[in-house]
Amino acid sequence: MRAQSSLKKQPSKFPRHVNRSRPYHDASMSSSNGVSPDMTLINELWEAIERSPPGIRARQLLLEQWINAGWLDAAEDTARELLRLDPSNADALHFLQSHRKDQKEPVPINNNRNDQKPPVSCKSPYHGPVKELSVTTRPEDRADMERQLADGYETIRSRAEMLLRETRLLLELQQQENVPIPAESHIQELKALSEGRISTVVSVRPPRSARAVARAMEADRDSSLAIVVDDLAGVVRWLRSTTDQDKDSMRETLTKRVRALNAALPDDDLQRYPSMALMHVEHEELARTYVNDETMYGDKIEDIPRANFWASEDGYAWDMSELAAALASNSGVMRNPLSRQLFSQDDVRAIVQHPLGNRLAPLQMEQSELSQGIRPATMDKLDELAAVLLADMTDDQVTSRHAIDDFLTHVATLPEAEQKAIDKLRVPATDSHTGQAFDCTIGEAVRDAQANKICLHKTGDLIGQAARYLRNLPKQQ
């Protein structure tokens, strides 16, 4: 209801400079008068469309915003979507007819050159005045132009790499001297140029409609993540060029964009990509800070390539190749190697779905099978052993020693599968006094207590938690 009530109040914020007798024809020139769209209203329109589909009235207001700002590509996407939902919509029909009429301009003929196409008139609200581009068809001319383009492309990349190195060195010196550091958005632009993503820096266009991005993802599922990352990064660049929003406001806008994309996507397999893309855009475009400032191997977080980068819900950034190796060495137990706390269920799901972490899925399955292999009678034995170890306050601890021997004798009589489960199962348990996570199996803890390698009370703490954990597990059918 909040979005609907705001829509009733907000239309007065639309610019009214457009000639209402021919609104769509005159709107093609509105980019030259410096009119910017009302971002607050646009965010509310997106939210209203998401909450109350199909949102015909909200889409009409969105169409008017794009037209008044002169962003005709976005207006065309919105108009086409309106016609798909409401084929008789007069506003959308009027705009598309006028837009096509404006695009069909006569092309001047050059009679002086027969081997060359006439100059192409490039009229765009994004690039200022009309430019004449001479497009040649002669093979030698085209080869020369392609060679010049390739050389210029490499020159831009090499200069950007040099500037990026020098800028980072300068920032390090400023940090050492406690000199205030300005905004670092230009670093992301230099990084994009050095990686060859030149169009993302030099061309700022309004975002496509969520439906258009969803269609592109459906058409090329293998590139879905790259498509939505480029879309969200484009939203950030567009916001920077049209508004003075801070990072928190941009993040809120991106979150709404992610919700709109999820609403437009048809299935769960594609719906996981927008949130993943938001994680990458926060890292690459918004320079998000994390709990750790370097990887487990000592590399800088900003140097992690996109294919390896992953951020967990607890605020840590990871190189997935390093994280997967650390988790595999711990028998696949999903515990944060730095904080020693267990990852959330959503994080565990993201880890095993990542291309570099999917090898951990069998280890996860093995741990699940092990937990199902311990019978209730053995859980009773664990409870009895924990009670004795926690209650024993004697100096010689003879009672605890006898209880440990009895438990190990009982384990020796169990089936091989259950013995394996006790030896290899790692349960989510923490020291009740220090809060430090236990990092050993049930069998390892009992044998370490027998050999005086670990405090008996600490062993009782772990075993008691293990018994409770096993009893609370849902039984598989």
- In tens, the pLDDT along 113-144 reads 444 444 444 433 333 443 444 555 577 777 78
Q: Calculate mean pLDDT across residues 306-319.
A: 93
What pLDDT was estimated at residue 194? 82
For 345, the enclosing helix (H) or strand (E) is helix 345-353
Q: Say yes or no to pLDDT of 447 above 50.
A: yes
Q: Residue written as tokens 């989510």?
A: 428
**Do 446 and 404 touch, CB atoms closer than 8 A?**
yes
Contact 48, 7 (CB under 8 A): yes
Query: Which residues make beta-bridge pairs with 311?
Result: 317
DSSP string, 413-472: TS-HHHHHHHHH-----B-TTT-PBP-S-HHHHHHHHHTTSS-HHHHHHHHHHHHHHHHH
| Exposure on the CB side of residue 207, measured as CA atoms within 13 A | 32
To the question of domain 2-103 being in CATH 1.25.40, the answer is yes
Q: Which residues pair with 131 in a beta bridge?
A: 122
Q: Are 227 and 235 in contact (CB under 8 A)?
A: no
pTM over 0.75: no
Mean pLDDT computed over every residue of the chain:
77
Task: Judge whether residue 457 has pLDDT over 50.
Answer: yes
Please tell me the predicted confidence (pLDDT) of residue 16.
Answer: 35
- 414-433 burial, b at 16+ Cβ within 10 Å, e below that, comes to beeebbbbbebbbbebbeee
| Whether pLDDT at 219 is above 80 | yes
CA distances (Å), origin 471, targets 21, 269, 342, 466, 475: 75, 34, 19, 9, 9
Q: Domain 301-370 is in which class?
A: alpha beta
CA 394 to chain centre: 56
